[in-house]
Amino acid sequence: MTLQNRNGDKEASPITLRLKEPTSIPIEADTVSPDHFIGRSLKDIAALPVYFGRRKRNLGDVFHIEGEESDQVIVEGDLAHVKKIGYGMTRGRIVIRGNVGQHTGACMRGGEIIVEGHVADRAGIHMEGGRLWIKGNAGHLLGAAYPGERRGVNRGVIIVEGNVGSETGAFMRRGLIVVMGDTGEFVGARMIAGSVFVFGHLGKRAGAGMKRGSIVAFGACEPLLPTYRFESVFQPVFIRVFVNRLRQWGLPVNIERTEGLFRRYSGDITALGKGEILIYDSNE
């Protein structure tokens, strides 16, 4: 496959990796990233290290590799046990065709990852830039922090077209997380700043320990924690700005609902208490 740039000029074929055979053994593939591929021949790329369980292998031992030098990467196969694809990447694009394992896009600082399937736990954890777009569902700790760390996502955008697990956006500092489906518990737990938009069902204990930031619920939600207090009913202007951008990206957002009134709750009063949860007022 040959790509074209914005001027219509032909570009080199993307580098394509196809998993040689399905496995239940964890594969740590943090070298699968445009940062590691640019400036290297296919032979050099094939020699990059991966961990197959506890054994150190070469990338070419695990994947069939073809294409030309490019910052565009396609990864195919049964990748449910392949971890850390796009770890720390700063540029380019990775398209993952199928389900993929944990830590996808962890610590990424730029570029884009598109997952045409489901993602396991800890996707986009400690993200500092770029965009992670998941077409299916995501597991727990999406865009959160590693255990023991006090700060999580610092910048960037995460979009999930399906559902997500628990602790999405926990310890988030900056950035945007958009969930088109339902969430598990503790969305935005101990959040420091940033925004989380939920278009499906918002799970229990949202915003627990949140200091600052915004959680916006466009659908139904569980009762909020008693440490949140009702402030007002109003029409937030900033939501229109965010929603217009989401529509530009091609997300099917109902514009009528986003222009309605929202109930604002502030908290968590057990923390700094300057966070907010905005809930669409279906009774307007």
Backbone angles phi, psi at 243, to 5 degrees: -65, -40
Q: Kindly tell me if the per-residue pLDDT of 257 is higher than 90.
A: no
- Entry pTM: 0.92
- pLDDT tens digits along 99-148: 999 999 999 999 999 999 999 999 999 999 999 999 999 999 999 999 88
- Contact predicate 102/122, CB 8 Å: yes
Q: Kindly tell me if the per-residue pLDDT of 9 is higher than 60.
A: no
How would you class 212 by CB atoms within 10 Å of its CB: exposed for 0-12, middle for 13-18, buried for 19 or more?
Answer: middle
Which of 148, 49, 32 lies closest to 100 in space, CA to CA?
32
Q: What SS3 class is residue 219? A: coil
Which of 198, 239, 203, 196 lies closest to 224 in space, CA to CA?
203
Quick one: pLDDT at residue 142? 98
Cross-strand pairs, 19: 63
- Which of the two residues, 282 and 63, has the higher pLDDT score? 63
- pLDDT tens digits along 217-234: 999 999 999 999 999 999
Per-residue DSSP letters for 161-196? SS---SSTTTT--S-EEEESS---S-TTTT--S-EE
Backbone angles phi, psi at 68, to 5 degrees: -125, 170
- Contact predicate 106/83, CB 8 Å: no
Quick one: pLDDT at residue 12? 63
Give the C-alpha distances (Å, rounded to integers) separating 173 from 151, 186, 195, 246.
Answer: 7, 16, 9, 21
Distance CA 156, CA 175 (A): 5
Distance CA 157, CA 31 (A): 22
Distance CA 117, CA 166 (A): 19
Average pLDDT on 251-258 reads 77
- Mean pLDDT estimate for the chain: 92
- Contact predicate 63/119, CB 8 Å: no
Q: Kindly tell me if the per-residue pLDDT of 97 is higher than 70.
A: yes
